[in-house]
Structure 1
């Protein structure tokens, strides 16, 4: 199992995740996913994004979307996501900005990566993903 820390940017996952929150996500080879799970995805067009699993399709592909439809890229535009594109399943949310001490608290863990809740190319979206 591999744990990663991501910083959330964007507003498409409100109210569950806000801009400036952090999420701890894990990935393992045989990760169990189900509808309702929040996942970090390496999207081929939009980069690293965080969304919620709407449903799992035959063959294991995922339909994903944001929690805030007014501020999110729609699942039709995101397309079906192969399971191997899932970078991690959100395990825990750490609220709020101003957590610059987080790496120290995490015992010297690598810096948090940014994960957007929205796709930058969408006219209703903003945010970016940066390691």
Structure 2
């Protein structure tokens, strides 16, 4: 009986791995508090690999870590919410932050092939307010769902 359970578990795991590889899905661990209360440190999310053309404003995306001092100790990827896509207005919160830091916004629209990202927890997030535009080739994919159920309203 135990052998059957083990074999079933192995087959199920192999099927999941095959599904993930063929469907271009990736599991990413959340690190840090920048996306609270949507995602918490230690959560896991399922990400569908996607090109920039498949990303929409409001999506949660995983992008390559920017070359910025805020991320000196961070992992390879960061998770943020898309604030604006190419051709859309630069959000006021980003324009205001850039103006405070003496950065020229180079027009009021997001340029082609770029996007702007924000964390859901603005006081604890390094995002486009700090590093500017993100290039489309930095996008790994779109978060499709959280993989670890957690109690709503939990605090850390």
Normalised by the length of structure 2, the TM-score is: 0.56
CA–CA distance in structure 2, aligned partners of residues 10 and 33 of structure 1? 23
Shift of 1:76: 2.5
Partner of 1:27: 49
**Aligned partner (choices 57, 62, 68) of residue 115 of structure 2:** 62
Structure 1: which 5+ residue stretches go unaligned?
98-131
Counterparts of 1:74 and 1:30 in 2: how far apart (Å)? 18
Cα shift at 1:29: 4.5
Write out aligned runs for 1:85-104 (5 A): 85-95=138-148
* Higher strand fraction (1 or 2): 1
**Alignment partner for residue 53 of structure 1, among 55, 72, 82?**
82
Q: Is the 8 A contact 1:41 1:85 kept in 2?
A: yes
Gaps of 5+ in 2: 1-22, 86-109, 151-156
- Tell me the C-alpha RMSD between the 2 structures: 1.9
Structure showing greater radius of gyration is: 2
Q: Which contiguous aligned blocks of 4+ residues in structure 1 show a shift greater than 6 angstroms?
A: none
User: How far apart are residue 41 of structure 1 and its match?
Assistant: 0.4
1:31 shift after superposition: 4.6
Please identify which structure carries the higher helix content: 2
TM-score by length of 1: 0.66
Match of 1:8 in 2: 30
Greater RCO, CA 8 A, separation 6+ = 1
For residue 81 of structure 1, what is the aligned residue in structure 2?
134
